[in-house]
Copies of this chain bind each other. A is one copy, B any other.
């Protein structure tokens, strides 16, 4: 009676949601302070004060037109500001407001990109582990998600495997660095190799293979690491950004898509992106928050907050014997499950009131994800529970 595909996905897709709800149930039963919920990427730090001040200032005078329609691509001055940032990072790039579309977060942006790019049966490659929603974003627009593995010791994509996964139907490769769920930041030299491979394979198949860079965590990086600018490395590249994490306002749905000016027919692609934004029913990115990001330009959440949490949780887990790649960005840990059966490990963790997400949904069933964007107290208080869990799991 309803969409068969959606009903089928409903059953398969709810790992994070299921754990989130299990967490809510446990909190109700045992009190929130006794449950250690690492299930979801909802930032605990409040938005930085300059962003909150921008909201208050903007609505203070209730200026005319503040909440009205604008061009479906978003306000021109906001797009110009974004363009100027890209040009500063990559001199000579020549990116302007006509290469930017304001979107409802990066999730909205990726849907807009795939709607604009994909023809029925086109393949899009993601590296495992990958953000659970990619599969739906691609399938929404008639595409097929193909997965390609990463190296176990680094979570960097296996380029040999990628070479074998690319076919004449490959329309795009999704890049997500800093990565959800591993927290890995891909080094520049790796991206250069990836770019070279895409060039070679594109020539081999006489096709254009787009690099779609999902960058909601671009500004959440530690240890002096930087996420390399993709536009200077990949000619056929598009980028989805969100302020959800960098300004701690994920509920407001504000982000953008930018496209590389070097793409052939970049103007037509921009038209297609704007049309997709409109016809998917987004119409435009929320008006007020477009102005908020402009008015608080350059303001970012203090990443030291997340670094402290990473250090505390990571060192504690490794000290207990968990095997885990040390993340250099985002706010997730992706340790290996000490039990072969990760679902059993998840249930064992629940008995210690630790809520984690098994890796199956991310395409790596031997691992589990912990979102450490929770309070430092939650991490501190979770230590005895993790100790008991490690013991029970035979570490």
| Interface residue ranges, A against B (CB under 8 Å) | 1-7, 9-10, 13, 17, 40, 42-43, 46-47, 52, 55-56, 59-60, 62, 64, 67-70, 72, 104-105, 107-112, 115-119, 133, 136-137, 140-141, 208, 248-253, 264-265, 268-269, 271-272, 275-276, 278-284, 286-289
| A43–B68 touching, CB < 8 Å | yes
Q: Which residue of B1, B279, B283 contacts A208 across the interface (Cβ within 8 Å)? A: B1
Q: Of B60, B72, B252, which is within 8 A of A288 by CB?
A: B252
Q: How far is the CB of A198 from chain B (nearest CB, A)?
A: 15
A283-B105 contact given A43-B68, A59-B59, CB 8 Å threshold: yes
Is A68 a contact partner of B248 (Cβ separation < 8 A)? yes
Contact A119 B4 (CB under 8 A): yes
Q: In the bound complex, do residue B133 and residue A279 qualify as a contact, i.e. CB atoms below 8 Å apart?
A: yes
- Are the CB atoms of A117 and B281 closer together than 8 Å? no
Interface centre among A47, A265, A279 (most CB of B within 10 A): A279
Q: Is A10 touching B281 in the complex (CB atoms < 8 A)?
A: no
Give 29 A-B contacts (CB < 8 Å), ordered by A residue: A1-B264, A1-B265, A2-B268, A2-B269, A3-B117, A3-B119, A3-B272, A6-B275, A7-B268, A10-B268, A10-B271, A13-B275, A40-B69, A52-B59, A52-B62, A104-B282, A107-B282, A107-B283, A108-B283, A111-B280, A111-B281, A133-B279, A133-B281, A137-B281, A140-B280, A249-B287, A251-B287, A252-B288, A282-B282
Contacting pair B284 A253 (CB below 8 A): yes
B3 touches A141 (CB 8 A): yes
Q: A55-B59, A251-B287 are in contact. Are A281 and B105 (CB under 8 A)?
A: yes
Whether the pair A251, B3 counts as a contact (CB closer than 8 A) is no
> B279 and A140: CB pair below 8 A?
yes
Apart from A70-B251, A280-B280, 9 more pairs, CB < 8 Å: A67-B248, A68-B248, A104-B104, A104-B283, A105-B283, A109-B281, A110-B281, A282-B282, A286-B289
Q: Output the residue of A111, A271, A288 with the most chain B CB within 10 A.
A: A288
Contact status B116-A2, CB under 8 Å: yes
What's the nearest-Cβ distance from chain B to residue A35, in Å? 18
